[in-house]
Amino acid sequence: MQAEIWVKSSRSATNLNCVQLRWHKSSRSHVNGCVEVAERLGEVLVRDSKNPGGGVLKFSELQFRLFVDAVKAGEFG
């Protein structure tokens, strides 16, 4: 079973409804290194689970699908 992590949006005020991202750990990640993915309004966000406060890569849904297809096709060696 994959762990699910909810992160409160940094733009949410404390007294208002909050927006949260649902991060999914990759089922292919190793124990010591994981990639997490979240979807938000037509975007796919990718981060390193070892550094959740670090940078986040943003892709459109189409860009991410094309990237995943390229990885599956072995285009990156």
Q: Is residue 77 part of a domain?
A: no
Q: Is residue 29 part of a domain?
A: yes
CB distance 36 to 52 below 8 Å:
yes
The residue segments making up the domain with residue 25 are 4-72
pTM: 0.63
Q: Is residue 23 part of a domain?
A: yes
**Binning pLDDT at 50, 70 and 90, where does residue 3 land?**
very low
pLDDT given at position 77: 79
Chain centroid to CA 64: how far?
11
Structure tokens at 61: 């849904």
Beta strands across the sheet bearing 57-60:
4-8, 20-25, 35-40, 43-48, 57-60
Q: Is residue 61 part of a domain?
A: yes
**Binning pLDDT at 50, 70 and 90, where does residue 2 land?**
very low
pLDDT given at position 50: 83
CB distance 56 to 47 below 8 Å:
yes
pLDDT given at position 29: 59
Residue 36 burial class via C-beta count within 10 angstroms: exposed 0-12, middle 13-18, buried 19 and up: buried
